[in-house]
Amino acid sequence: MDEKRRAKIAVLGSINMDLMIRSAKLPLPGETVIAETKVENPGGKGANQAVAAARMGAEVKMIGCVGDDSFAEELLQNLTAEGIDTRYVTRKTNTTSGVAVVMVVASGENAILVVPGANGLVGSVELEQARQVICDSDVLLMQLEVPVETVIAAAAIAREAGVPVILDPAPAPAHFPAELLDVDLICPNQSEAAALTGKPLAALEDVIAAIPALAEQGPRQILVTMANQGAVLFDGESVEIIPPFPIQAIDSTAAGDAFAAGLAVKLSEQATLREAALFASAAGAIAASGAGAQTAMPDREQIETLITKQ
């Protein structure tokens, strides 16, 4: 890609306000735990990935919905401040914006509860408004915090226009419709890959063995992230292990979103899948070493510096 030309990425996905709660441990069923701190920050998988891609230098257009509550304007202003085009974000009346409660413990592990709100209303109206944006993009990047049928319809628009589709299949639904995975690349984590295959995938060897079952479901290429074990790459022909970047994890909330954005940006720049995976892994590692979601997203210089040091 011409160095003067920025990657053009359309992100279809959720826009949330995150309520981040830190505590010494996650509560068990029926247990009350006294937390340490509470912070509100813009989030949502779609918005997180849009912010990450923008910080990596891409030209990003966000497609989604917010509500008519007090969070809506703050969420839109936040995206605009990151240089993201929000003209394709609809404000829905008589509903709230999406809200996520993120519980984080000292090890960096987290548990998340999501109220979809306006995200659950992303549909045909938004797709028609953004049809040309999708068709003009280098990559369409999506997740599953908006209706599955909307994701499928958007992928069909992109496919007809010859635009590559990257799907981060998170959160994993109880059932994956067959057409949902008819995309160019999926980037599940190991629990999402386990949901796709119906088998536990604890080790790299488990994921490698599961690649044929994943590929049978439709995606042309696959990248399964395995936290501190690295990632497993399938380029349509062969399998390769992408080693992890050594970092001290503080909060893994945004790691997967940074990873997905890194893939989208580098593939838009005509990188190989392996090159994109290394860039994405570095982005995810840096994000996990910071606190919060969008606040932890790295810029391109940080990512390239880490890769150089590896």
Residues taking part in catalysis: 257
- With 0-12 / 13-18 / 19 or more C-beta atoms within 10 angstroms meaning exposed / middle / buried, residue 220 is middle
Indicate the DSSP class of residue 193.
H
Task: List the structure tokens of 87.
Answer: 């003209």
Pairing of strands 85-91, 59-66: parallel
Beta-sheet strand order (sheet of 98-104): 37-43, 16-22, 98-104, 110-115
Tell me how far apart the alpha carbons of residues 75 and 77 are, in angstroms, rounded to a whole number: 6
In three-state form (DSSP H/G/I as H, E/B as E, the rest C), the secondary structure along 222-265 is: EEEECHHHCEEEECCCCEEEECCCCCCCCCCCCHHHHHHHHHHH
Pairing of strands 139-142, 8-12: parallel
| Helical ranges in 82-203 per DSSP H | 124-136, 148-161, 190-197
